[in-house]
Structure 1
Amino acid sequence: MSILSWSCSLQLMFVLFSILSFSLQASEPPLTLNYYESNCPNVLEIVRKEMECAVLSDPRNAALILRLHFHDCFVQGCDGSVLLDDTITLQGEKKASINKHALKGFRIIDRIKNKLESECPGTVSCADILTVAARDAVILVGGPYWDVPLGRKDSKTAGYALTDLNLPSSDEGLLSIISKFLYQGLSVTDMVALSGAHTIGMGRCVNFRERIYGDFESTSGLDPMSKTYLTNLRSICPPAGGEDDKETAMDYVSPNFFDNSFFHILLKGEGLLNSDQELYSSVLGTETKKLVQKYAENAVAFFEQFSESMVKMGNITNPETYVGGEVRKNCRFVNT
């Protein structure tokens, strides 16, 4: 199939997914900025203070919460299902292969929930807490602000079987990743902007081993700085395995600061994950390459689009929660 045919197919998929998304959301109650104005007016302040403590104690916590939010929204919508522990009657999402070693930060959400239960019991959903906490996490490490519409309900179910199906993997090809974003009602522009979240956070050896012993040399061109970087990566992550959980920053320039240096790294062909470098280096990535260049050249444009795309992602809903959803007392367990 030609590149042009792929492009036409993707456009058709986007139209179909957009129609589906609209039909599902048309009957759902809208999220609002003042949802807790009367019954829990201090909710935003409480979340912010707890996130300030978490990020001050360890800047990496910002990336952990942002990742949790992403992994929540791509499975059943932003319904807090990623926070559920396994029980006799429920299989949570935490132990799915793509999540098992990637997700942390649950105790931060627990602390925020405990504070809010003391302030206004049974009022603020875990799904809303995670969405606001992700916004505050970004701000606290230098990223942009955006208003967070509220009013989500917590799911009584989890989507274990959907996690590996819906979430992009580190070695996935560009077209497959695009299709997963389109399925969520997110555009190619949203995908590239949201990938910029990798300007903070760490990657595990198991997720970048294939990249550094594969096409890293061909994409980077291996100038002296790139050679040094590759040598360092290979010292962290040997080819034979056994060090799968060793980590390194996805943005080695400013790993604890939210900026556009991630896109500069892609321009140099030094993206840690194959899925990231594909945005710039794939022969099928004509549109994504232009967006990478744009955000590398213009940090303001990146911040503006990232904010817009985060709102859009945060508005992915689980229609079932509006019929059978709840406000959990404990984010780890469905109410009894």
Structure 2
Amino acid sequence: MPSIGEPTWPKTLKTAMTAVLFALPAALLPQQAALARQQDGAALAVTHKSPFNCGKTFYANNWLPDHNPSGSIDWQDYGGDDVNGETVRATAAGTAYFYDAGSTSYGKWIEIRHSDGTRTRYAHLASMVRAAGGSMSVSQGTTIGTVGSTGGSTAPHLHYEQRTSTGAMDTSPTVDGVTVALGQKKAVTSTNGCGGSGNPYTAEEVCGSGYAVIDSAALTGGRTYLLYNSGNGYNCVVTLKSTNLGSASAVSAFLEPQGESRTTDSGSYAYYAGPVRRDAAGQCVRWGGSVGSSSYTSGFEHCG
């Protein structure tokens, strides 16, 4: 069954376009040393979550035949929930690269290269958090764009791929513990952005678009995070709770550029303290936070 949202081409044209549109982007990517260490078809080592907000359920369609490329997933409406315009999150940590193929192929799309050399792709996006040609470090759950219908798409959906380090497709990708084999259609409920401990927020979501985690420290009952926005030179600190979620309890976050005063957000909060944002381009920062009586204070670090 052909994918909803994927164009129907004459067989010969479709084959030719597949070779060009889906092989060419990978050929243009910088070579990585990890590519030589794995073979096509190698199992993906990174654990992936759904590309949607915590608690969201959508259908994952692994169409067979006639999906391009075979093994990719189309995420589509589930029940009364419309996938169009939904927030798209990184399914695993890595470095995200942003592209725009215009009215053809993937349209607006993102590739995330993960620590083991594997890759994921997110296509037909309505919007991206970086302009085409940009890149950024992402954690699992970082917001990267929104669902749309750009490029060679005829209806809103998210085209999603998991690839080995050599670029070969994983034709039975697993997300949030659900394996979707060729020809299968399964409903998947996202745990992405749930904070791992049940917290429905992530540090990137609290700080806002453009911020990526560069450091963190564990607390009893939570974790404090330092983020940086390379676009504007600002740092941001957030402390996320992992206990007493939804109930007001003592939590704090602070940020102190070297040579300047400290900015602190503290109080009785249900989920987190912060965001505390400061312009710290070219400066060292001291940062930290607390949950109850457990606290962390860094030295001056992350200079530049």
Q: Which structure is higher in helix share?
A: 1
- Higher RCO (CA 8 Å, separation ≥ 6 residues): 1
Q: Which structure is higher in strand share?
A: 2
Give the TM-score normalised by structure 2.
Answer: 0.28
